[in-house]
A and B are shown apart, each in its own frame.
Chain A
Amino acid sequence: MDNKSVTAFRRGGLALRYSLFLLLAFLFIFSFAFFYTLEFTRNILENDAMQLASNVTDLTISRITNVIRPVEQVPNALAPALESERPDYKNIQEIAKDFVREDSLTFGTALAFEPYMHDAKHYRYCPYFFESRNRIIQKDLASPEYDYFSRDWYRIPKILGTPVWSEPYYDKGGGDTMMCTYSVPFYREFRGNRTFAGVITMDISLQSFNHILNSAKVYQTGFSFLVSRRGKFITYPQGEYVNTDILDLVRKNGDPRALKIAERMLKGERLFTEIGNLEQRQLPSLIYFAPVPMTGWIFALTFPTQELYSGLYSFFKKLALIFSLSLFAMIIFSVLITRKFTRPISKLVDATRRIGQGDFAADIPVYRSRDEIEQLSNAFSVMKEDLVNYIRNLRESTIEKEKIEGELKIARDIQMGMIPTKFPAFPDRKEFDIYGFIEPAKKVGGDLYDFFFIDDERLCFAIGDVAGKGTPAALFMAITTTILRAETQIAGLNVSKVIELMNNYLCKNNDSNLFVTLFLGILNTSKGEVEYVNAGHNFPFIIKNNGTVSELKNTHCIPLGITSNSCRNQTTFNLDHGDTIFLYTDGISEAFNNEDQQYSIKRINEMLRNNANHAPYEIVNRIVDDVNEFSHGIEQSDDISVLAIQYFGKHLSKETGPTHQIVIPNSEENLPLLAEKIMRLCNDLNIPSGSTYKVNLVVEELISNTITLGYNDDLQHDIILNFQFDVESISIEIIDDAKEFNPVVIADADTTSEISERKIGGMGIHLVKNLTDAFTYHREDTKNITKIIIRYS
């Protein structure tokens, strides 16, 4: 755990996260309960409101009918009296007049007749009594101006033939006030027909309803009003809108829902509903309405919706506040409690970090809480102990390993000391060139090679591979090398005898059942003759001076150290000038790459053919580099040993024939002079003209190449030519300090295509290769050394 997350853990971490989740859960549950309760309470409130409105409405309606009923009863009772044979008009009107005086609601009463129905003299006859300032005043309405025949209170009952309550109206010229009139028609027998004779009316002042309706209120600003059957306001608070049409008012306000509800109201339905607003200044409201019996009026009770819920909302606001505070407190408690639980974990984390930094003295806190924390702290304690033990073991084994590695290094030094690894190994010997390389797979290996002179002429060389790797193999290898040197010192022994003696010795003291494959050869450096025995080792390659490559496919016996058999007789063959023998162990041929493929003998063969013209040093290094590249990324599985010997023979030795050195500066102008010198030299030594020509040509081609391509500066450089004239051949050694250039590897020139496609150039080296009997190159420090041999034709 890094520092950042440790701090985060301490600051809140688990505790905070746990509490936040808890908070979310509570918030969810509470919200659900809150809104459910709110909705539920709203329904209850609405039902209560409806009940209340219904009660008030019923009460008010019954109060209205109570006051209206007597107003209807009086004219209803008088009408039959008016239909009698000789009606006592005076008495009838007196009764009506008394009622007007007694009844607070009634305002006036009229008795209106059809033309000439009262008496033959009067076309119109209509006495009217009304109350004014607590006195009854009589007024005659039988004027043509007033024309009572056209008034609704007269006309409608005449047409309908039934008692009728009029719409509210202002009785101009009559009562001169807002009123409604109850008219009862009465009839006479006239020529045997029941004929309409007139109406008896009772007026009520609409103002009188105000006091009834003023007391019919609910909530703070709720109010009630009365509407006539045709929709005219009979009452409205402060007398507003009286005698105007409710539909007009609602239409003007433009709320289609309110309009629909108003229409239902006029149909005489009883309903409790939201109405939006009746008029613009009103808030969204609820309305309860019901028809008033007898008159056909409609009573309506309305109040703003918000007043219904105002108490509810303030209650729920308080509730939400209380709940929020509780939640906050709960979070704090939750954080504190969770922290108490996680504190041991923090301490464990601290201890673990200190242990991680190497402080094994750090105490793991112990908890006896019988829960997961206790298990965790126990596990940490065990882990600490295990770690301490593990590290102690690791340290001990590392020390042990280092000690062994130190010893192995010494062993390797000793092993390398036994194998000749300094090159050039024989700087004085010009008859051959030798180079070897060894790389054990596990520091100390079982591979070996060796070479040494038995006498002045004969070079003994060997390569071998002990089965197995590591120290035992190395020791066996050391024994093999030692007895090889010992046995070859016995004069007059041939190689097969040496092998036999070695085998016997190795079989005798071989408790660990190790064995060694060995190729042992002796090269006669004067004659090029090689005699060898191969005891189960990989076949060496012979690279001939013409570039062909072949294997020495002879095996003479099984590996040494297994049984004391004698080997078959050795094989003998000759190396010519420039031939190379190449020996290796299976660490080369059986090197693996990451696709599990082997390097293979075939690939060695190819590499040798491609590098046939190189000196042993080059050949060995190129093969080893190629193997390393091939098995790149794979641990070296086996020891690698390579040994290569190139034979030149006595031709290049200084003792034979006259030698001559020519030194020329690196300038083309010197070429004619050089040619002249060579001509003279060859003439003096009676060299055949064909060979002289070849020497001339080869020197010109190589030197002109070096001069034109080899130098990057303007300084003078000397090129040294060493000539050696032997009995059978001329050897030429060219030494220059030009940049590295190996002419031997230049590709062959084009000698086959048509004249028009034949490439110009590249012919010089081609001629040199084909006109000489040996052509080698190697680089020594900063010098190119090219050697050529031309046999006399």
Chain B
Amino acid sequence: MKITTEKTSEVLVIHPEGRLDTMTAGEFEKEVTPLIRQSGLNVLIDFGKLDYISSAGLRSILILAKEMKKKENNFALCCLNETIMEVFRISGFDTIITIYPTLENGLSFLKGT
């Protein structure tokens, strides 16, 4: 799994690539959590290059979302493929995490707040 980040003045954008599963979720969490804490910005995770997410990945996303909620920063996802979107629907995550169809959508909304 590969993780890249970019920062604007108000939004921290994270681009995970490949699989977010049992084996990689821990690594993802370890890498992303400090970044979020340091930046203190709104966070947008771009799922555009994510092929696969399992319950372990969902768990990491939920932990991040809870952390952001506590800090009262905004947290959103964008660019989920069809299958991942189905997983989010089944798990009910789509009701608690804001999901944007495109990166631009996400950025503009997060900047606007």
From B60, which residue of chain A is reached at the shortest CB distance? Answer: A760
Q: Is there a chain B Cβ closer than 8 Å to A512's Cβ?
A: no
Give CA–CA (A754, B65) in the complex, Å. 11
Minimum Cβ distance to chain A for residue B96 (Å): 4
Residues of B within 8 A of A763 (CB): 55, 58-59, 91
Q: Is there a chain A Cβ closer than 8 Å to B87's Cβ?
A: yes
Please state if A766 and B22 are interface contacts (CB–CB under 8 Å).
Answer: no
Please state if B66 and A751 are interface contacts (CB–CB under 8 Å).
Answer: no
Give CA–CA (A641, B15) in the complex, Å. 61
Residues of A within 8 A of B22 (CB): 668, 671, 700, 704
Q: Is there a chain A Cβ closer than 8 Å to B35's Cβ?
A: no
Please state if A751 and B91 are interface contacts (CB–CB under 8 Å).
Answer: yes
From B22, which residue of chain A is reached at the shortest CB distance? Answer: A704
From B92, which residue of chain A is reached at the shortest CB distance? Answer: A751
Q: Is there a chain A Cβ closer than 8 Å to B54's Cβ?
A: yes
CB < 8 Å: which of B55, B65, B86, B92 contacts A764? B55
Residue-wise interface mask of A (752-768) relative to B, using a CB-CB cutoff of 8 A (1 in contact, 0 not): 10111010110110110
Residue-wise interface mask of B (44-82) relative to A, using a CB-CB cutoff of 8 A (1 in contact, 0 not): 000000001011101100110110011000000000001
Total A-B contacts with CB atoms under 8 angstroms apart: 70
Q: Is there a chain A Cβ closer than 8 Å to B10's Cβ?
A: no
Given contacts A751-B92, A755-B96, A756-B69, contact A767 B62 (CB under 8 A): no
Q: Is there a chain B Cβ closer than 8 Å to A690's Cβ?
A: yes
Which residues in window 13-59 of B have CB below 8 A to A? 19, 21-23, 52, 54-56, 58-59
Give CA–CA (A693, B86) in the complex, Å. 11
Q: Is there a chain A Cβ closer than 8 Å to B83's Cβ?
A: yes
Please state if B82 and A770 are interface contacts (CB–CB under 8 Å).
Answer: no
Please state if B82 and A675 are interface contacts (CB–CB under 8 Å).
Answer: no
CB < 8 Å: which of A671, A693, A704, A766 contacts B91? A766
Give CA–CA (A756, B65) in the complex, Å. 9
Q: Is there a chain B Cβ closer than 8 Å to A749's Cβ?
A: yes
Q: Is there a chain B Cβ closer than 8 Å to A105's Cβ?
A: no
Minimum Cβ distance to chain B for residue A658 (Å): 24
Residues of B within 8 A of A418 (CB): none
Residues of B within 8 A of A690 (CB): 82-83, 86
Please state if A771 and B66 are interface contacts (CB–CB under 8 Å).
Answer: no
CB < 8 Å: which of B62, B69, B86 contacts A760? B62
Minimum Cβ distance to chain A for residue B94 (Å): 10
Given contacts A668-B22, A690-B83, A697-B87, contact A764 B54 (CB under 8 A): yes
Q: Is there a chain A Cβ closer than 8 Å to B4's Cβ?
A: no
Please state if B65 and A771 are interface contacts (CB–CB under 8 Å).
Answer: no
Residues of A within 8 A of B90 (CB): 751, 766-767, 770-771
Residues of A within 8 A of B91 (CB): 749, 751, 763, 766-767
CB < 8 Å: which of A689, A752, A760, A761 contacts B83? A689
Give CA–CA (A530, B79) in the complex, Å. 47
Residues of B within 8 A of A675 (CB): 19, 21
Residues of A within 8 A of B108 (CB): none
Number of interface residues of A (CB under 8 A): 29
Q: Is there a chain A Cβ closer than 8 Å to B8's Cβ?
A: no
Please state if B23 and A671 are interface contacts (CB–CB under 8 Å).
Answer: yes
From A749, which residue of chain B is reached at the shortest CB distance? Answer: B91
Residues of A within 8 A of B69 (CB): 755-756
Q: Is there a chain B Cβ closer than 8 Å to A427's Cβ?
A: no
Given contacts A755-B65, A756-B69, A758-B96, contact A767 B23 (CB under 8 A): no
Give CA–CA (A536, B66) in the complex, Å. 60
Please state if A761 and B59 are interface contacts (CB–CB under 8 Å).
Answer: yes
CB < 8 Å: which of A700, A760, A761 contacts B54? A700
Minimum Cβ distance to chain A for residue B112 (Å): 21
| Residue of B62, B69, B70 most packed against chain A (CB within 10 A) | B62
Please state if B21 and A700 are interface contacts (CB–CB under 8 Å).
Answer: yes
Residues of B within 8 A of A492 (CB): none
Q: Is there a chain B Cβ closer than 8 Å to A696's Cβ?
A: yes
Minimum Cβ distance to chain B for residue A689 (Å): 7
Give CA–CA (A118, B52) in the complex, Å. 179
Give CA–CA (A671, B95) in the complex, Å. 30
Minimum Cβ distance to chain B for residue A338 (Å): 95
Minimum Cβ distance to chain B for residue A694 (Å): 8
Give CA–CA (A668, B92) in the complex, Å. 27
Residues of B within 8 A of A766 (CB): 55, 90-91
Please state if A752 and B21 are interface contacts (CB–CB under 8 Å).
Answer: no
Q: Is there a chain B Cβ closer than 8 Å to A672's Cβ?
A: yes
Q: Is there a chain B Cβ closer than 8 Å to A131's Cβ?
A: no
Residues of A within 8 A of B56 (CB): 704, 764
Give CA–CA (A694, B54) in the complex, Å. 10
Please state if A693 and B63 are interface contacts (CB–CB under 8 Å).
Answer: no
Given contacts A700-B21, A766-B91, contact A758 B62 (CB under 8 A): yes
Please state if A696 and B52 are interface contacts (CB–CB under 8 Å).
Answer: yes
Residues of B within 8 A of A754 (CB): 96
Residues of B within 8 A of A752 (CB): 92, 95
Residues of A within 8 A of B86 (CB): 690, 771
From A700, which residue of chain B is reached at the shortest CB distance? Answer: B54
Give CA–CA (A694, B83) in the complex, Å. 8
Minimum Cβ distance to chain B for residue A752 (Å): 6
Minimum Cβ distance to chain A for residue B77 (Å): 13
Minimum Cβ distance to chain A for residue B21 (Å): 6
Give CA–CA (A690, B52) in the complex, Å. 11
Please state if B54 and A697 are interface contacts (CB–CB under 8 Å).
Answer: yes
Residue-wise interface mask of A (681-703) relative to B, using a CB-CB cutoff of 8 A (1 in contact, 0 not): 00000000110011011001100
Give CA–CA (A756, B62) in the complex, Å. 10
From B19, which residue of chain A is reached at the shortest CB distance? Answer: A675
Minimum Cβ distance to chain A for residue B26 (Å): 11
Minimum Cβ distance to chain A for residue B3 (Å): 17
Give CA–CA (A750, B83) in the complex, Å. 21
Give CA–CA (A719, B81) in the complex, Å. 31
Residues of A within 8 A of B96 (CB): 754-755, 758
Residues of A within 8 A of B87 (CB): 697, 767, 771
Please state if A760 and B23 are interface contacts (CB–CB under 8 Å).
Answer: no
Residues of A within 8 A of B21 (CB): 671, 675, 700
From A764, which residue of chain B is reached at the shortest CB distance? Answer: B55
Give CA–CA (A696, B22) in the complex, Å. 12
Residues of A within 8 A of B70 (CB): 756
Minimum Cβ distance to chain A for residue B55 (Å): 4
Please state if A701 and B55 are interface contacts (CB–CB under 8 Å).
Answer: yes
Give CA–CA (A760, B29) in the complex, Å. 14
Residues of A within 8 A of B52 (CB): 693, 696-697
Residues of B within 8 A of A767 (CB): 54-55, 87, 90-91
Minimum Cβ distance to chain B for residue A770 (Å): 4
Give CA–CA (A700, B95) in the complex, Å. 25
Give CA–CA (A696, B20) in the complex, Å. 12
Give CA–CA (A763, B58) in the complex, Å. 8
Give CA–CA (A758, B69) in the complex, Å. 12
Give CA–CA (A764, B70) in the complex, Å. 25
Residues of B within 8 A of A756 (CB): 66, 69-70
Residues of A within 8 A of B66 (CB): 755-756, 758
CB-defined A-B contacts under 8 Å, sample of 29? A668-B22, A671-B21, A671-B22, A672-B23, A690-B83, A693-B83, A700-B21, A704-B22, A704-B56, A749-B91, A751-B90, A751-B91, A752-B92, A755-B62, A755-B97, A756-B70, A758-B62, A760-B62, A760-B63, A761-B59, A764-B54, A766-B90, A767-B55, A767-B87, A767-B90, A767-B91, A770-B90, A771-B87, A771-B90
Taking A693-B52, A763-B58 as given, write out 6 further A-B residue pairs in contact, using a Cβ cutoff of 8 Å, ordered by the A residue number: A675-B19, A690-B86, A751-B90, A758-B66, A766-B90, A767-B91
B: residues with CB less than 8 A from A are 19, 21-23, 52, 54-56, 58-59, 62-63, 65-66, 69-70, 82-83, 86-87, 90-92, 95-97
Please name the 6 residue pairs, one residue from A and one from B, whose CB atoms are nearest each other, closest first.
A751-B92, A764-B55, A763-B55, A755-B96, A770-B90, A693-B83
